[in-house]
């Protein structure tokens, strides 16, 4: 009887915990909670990433391009809103209740938060050591945290170097990194941009603002520079993944992929091979491998927009988008695979496609746009985003189904495509558009539950047609979809239905720091557990359109140099530029 009572009490406690966990799901919540609504560009965030802790799935971590520590436009000339030299922009955010609420920690570092300036000319910004809402320990180590955030959670290595979930979890945060010093003698690395990785073994302490929580491993408090650099190298568009299924013979191995521009994008022929770095010791040391050709010319474009994942058997897969000679020099989703923990990689081969770049080239940016003139760039809309049902944390119920999404199509119909493979990428299903009718896709990302039963897809889309002017309103939304999947490799993932549609916002209220165009970054992100899916997306519901900016942008488009450049803090609503990261978590609707 006593044992029965104890078991009953435990069962009741578990039931309460499950009920509390379910109640914590939040379909639409602000992730960048520590960032102000004004002024520009301190109110600007974009390009989100998210990861779930497979061993403790109530924990989520997000990253974003975060400008909370930049100077305001009025610091210096009122119509300039620069990236303040030396100021980091890699934001990190934590949730410990399944995404119900989020925390944005504050650390100390090189900060320009106090550089608000005055109306009219002033001496400009003088940053100081002060509060920062971005990754710590960059300034102290002669570095600057830059864009392209990527996060992953894996097992922590033990004293002997072996990995086990019983040791705890390690969070990895990868991003671009620049030199803090401006001269060759005070540079921390060669080249223009490198790939750096920060780590913490105590996410709760890191979330509370404890800077020392990021002092991990042999590097101590310093971020680890992963990429091999030369004087002309510009490393870009990285993603990170930790092998998080203990069934894998390479459990705990960490992978980073990126495009390495070897000539600093000179002209239109910058060689840019796809690179992968691999660490077997928790991120202390890394080996680098080139997995695609470096050519970049009219016949062959190298891979870009990479993503990386592992299955329950330890196979690692890197995907990117690039042209293929065997495919008539058209663009395809390309895949390279490693079966030996990243020591060697198969040649990149086309697996899906051809894909097309939707949009038109904006004459001011020189980059493709989908929503309208002076719109948000859409360069990486066709880039693949991938997830694998690898059974994490132990791998026992893995199906190893690989799911992929990307945006491809015409200017009028940029579709969110979905495809999948159940045989380790050897063959793929015919891509199918899955967006809700009326949505014009921009970026998309899938996730699949570790046991392969559910697929989630998040995407950003425009719901208005292409605008040939800057006066007509535009609409941007974030959308989360769900479909049931199967352990049967012969069965296809089912039809997608809409779980959530975020509040619309006008993307004209977002902005590049140069003010010439909108800015939403290059991607969105999703993650999944056995009981829920999570998503983060770019959101402009709280961004105010600015008529003066619209007029000036249109003048640039038509070559009219008579319209003066506006001063955002005087000529625009206070929340101009206030792009946010919004996210949601969603219980499996068909458990």
Domain boundary assignment for the chain: 47-323+340-348, 356-591
Q: SS3 helix, strand, coil % of the chain, rounded to 5?
A: 10, 35, 55
d(CA 393, CA 154): 9
Of 501, 499, 494, the closest CA to residue 438 belongs to 501
pTM of the shown model: 0.94
- Those residues of the chain that have pLDDT short of 50 are 1-23, 266-269, 297-300
Which tokens hold the place of 493? 């993932």
d(CA 520, CA 539): 9
Tokens 């060697």 appear where?
Answer: 344
Instruction: Show Cβ contacts of residue 302 under 8 Å, excluding neighbours closer than 6 positions.
Output: 259, 271, 272, 273, 274, 292, 293, 294, 295, 296, 322
Which tokens hold the place of 373? 């003139």
Which residue(s) pair with 93 in the sheet? 62
E runs forming strands in 84-149: 90-95, 107-111, 128-132, 143-145
Task: Output the CA–CA distances (angstroms, integers) from residue 104 to 39, 64, 131, 206, 420, in the order listed.
Answer: 18, 11, 12, 10, 35
d(CA 429, CA 417): 11
Q: What is the DSSP letter of 468?
A: S
For the chain, what is the radius of gyration of the CA atoms?
A: 23
Pairing of strands 360-361, 368-369: antiparallel
Of 445, 119, 425, 390, the closest CA to residue 247 belongs to 390
Task: Output the CA–CA distances (angstroms, integers) from residue 581 to 35, 103, 137, 461, 574, in the order listed.
Answer: 10, 13, 24, 15, 18
Instruction: Show Cβ contacts of residue 61 under 8 Å, excluding neighbours closer than 6 positions.
Output: 50, 51, 53, 92, 93, 94, 95, 151, 153, 171, 173, 203
Contact call for residues 188 and 180 (beta carbons, < 8 A): yes
Confidence at residue 20, expressed as pLDDT on a 0 to 100 scale: 38
d(CA 155, CA 174): 17
d(CA 246, CA 219): 26
d(CA 136, CA 205): 13
Q: How many CB atoms lie within 10 A of CB 3?
A: 7
Of all helices (H) and strands (E), which one includes residue 13?
A: helix 2-24
Which tokens hold the place of 217? 């491993």
- If phi over 0 gives left and psi between -120 and 50 gives alpha, with beta otherwise, what is residue 265? left
Across the beta sheet with 234-242, what order do the strands follow?
A: 234-242, 254-261, 274-279, 287-290
d(CA 524, CA 87): 24
Which tokens hold the place of 382? 């066709």
- Reported residue count of the chain is 591
CATH architecture of 47-323+340-348: 6 Propeller (2.120)
3-state secondary structure at position 276: strand
Across the beta sheet with 532-539, what order do the strands follow?
A: 29-30, 580-587, 532-539, 525-528
Of 308, 314, 238, 324, the closest CA to residue 280 belongs to 314
Tokens 């923990």 appear where?
Answer: 341
């Amino acid at each position: 009887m006593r044992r029965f009572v104890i078991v009953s009490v435990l069962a009741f406690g578990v039931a309460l915990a499950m009920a509390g966990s379910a109640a914590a799901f939040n379909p639409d919540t602000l992730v960048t909670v520590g960032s102000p609504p004004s002024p520009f560009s301190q109110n600007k965030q974009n390009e989100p990433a998210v990861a779930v802790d497979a061993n403790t799935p109530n924990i989520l971590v997000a990253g974003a391009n975060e400008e909370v520590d930049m100077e305001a436009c009025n610091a210096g000339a009122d119509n300039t809103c620069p990236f303040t030299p030396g100021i980091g922009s890699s934001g990190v955010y934590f949730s410990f209740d399944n995404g119900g609420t989020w925390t944005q920690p504050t650390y100390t570092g090189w900060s320009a938060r106090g550089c608000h300036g005055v109306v009219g000319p002033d001496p400009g910004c003088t940053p100081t050591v002060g509060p920062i809402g971005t990754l710590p320990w960059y300034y102290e180590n002669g570095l600057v945290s830059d864009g392209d955030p990527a996060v992953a959670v894996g097992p922590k290595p033990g004293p002997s170097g072996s990995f086990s979930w019983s040791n705890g979890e390690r969070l990895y945060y990868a991003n671009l990194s620049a030199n803090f010093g401006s001269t060759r003698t005070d540079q921390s690395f060669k080249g223009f941009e490198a790939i750096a990785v920060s780590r913490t073994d105590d996410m709760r302490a890191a979330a509370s603002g404890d800077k020392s929580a990021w002092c991990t491993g042999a590097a101590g408090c310093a971020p680890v520079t992963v990429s091999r650099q030369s004087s002309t190298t510009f490393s870009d568009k990285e993603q990170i993944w930790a092998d998080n299924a203990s069934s894998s013979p390479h459990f705990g191995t960490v992978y980073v992929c990126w495009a390495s521009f070897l000539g600093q994008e000179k002209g239109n022929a910058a060689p840019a091979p796809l690179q992968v770095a691999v660490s077997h010791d928790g991120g202390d040391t890394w080996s680098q491998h080139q997995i695609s050709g470096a050519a970049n010319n009219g016949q062959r474009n190298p891979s870009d927009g990479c993503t990386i994942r592992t299955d329950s058997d330890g196979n690692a897969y890197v995907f990117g988008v690039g042209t293929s000679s065997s495919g008539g020099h058209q663009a395809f989703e390309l895949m390279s695979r490693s079966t030996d923990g990243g020591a060697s990689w198969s040649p990149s081969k086309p697996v899906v496609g051809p894909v097309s770049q939707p949009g038109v080239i904006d004459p001011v940016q020189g980059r493709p746009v989908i929503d309208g003139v002076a719109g948000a760039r859409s360069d990486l809309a066709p880039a693949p985003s991938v997830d694998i049902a690898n059974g994490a944390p132990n791998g026992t119920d893995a199906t190893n189904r690989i799911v992929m999404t990307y945006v491809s199509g015409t200017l009028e119909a940029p579709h969110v495509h979905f495809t999948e493979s159940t045989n380790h990428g050897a063959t793929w299903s015919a891509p199918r558009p899955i967006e809700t009718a009326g949505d014009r896709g921009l970026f998309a990302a899938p996730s699949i539950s570790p046991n392969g039963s559910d697929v989630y897809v998040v995407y950003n889309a425009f719901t208005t047609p292409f605008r040939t002017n800057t006066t007509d309103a535009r609409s941007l939304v974030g959308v989360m979809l769900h479909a049931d999947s199967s352990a049967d490799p012969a069965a296809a993932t089912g039809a997608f239905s809409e779980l959530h549609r975020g509040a619309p916002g006008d993307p004209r209220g977002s902005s590049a720091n140069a003010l010439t165009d909108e800015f939403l970054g290059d991607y969105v992100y999703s993650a999944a557990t056995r009981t829920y899916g999570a998503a983060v997306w770019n959101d402009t519901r709280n961004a105010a359109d600015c008529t003066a900016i619209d007029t000036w942008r249109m003048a640039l488009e038509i070559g009219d140099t008579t319209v003066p450049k506006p001063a955002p803090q005087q000529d625009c609503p206070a929340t101009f530029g206030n792009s946010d990261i919004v996210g949601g978590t969603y219980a499996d609707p068909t458990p």
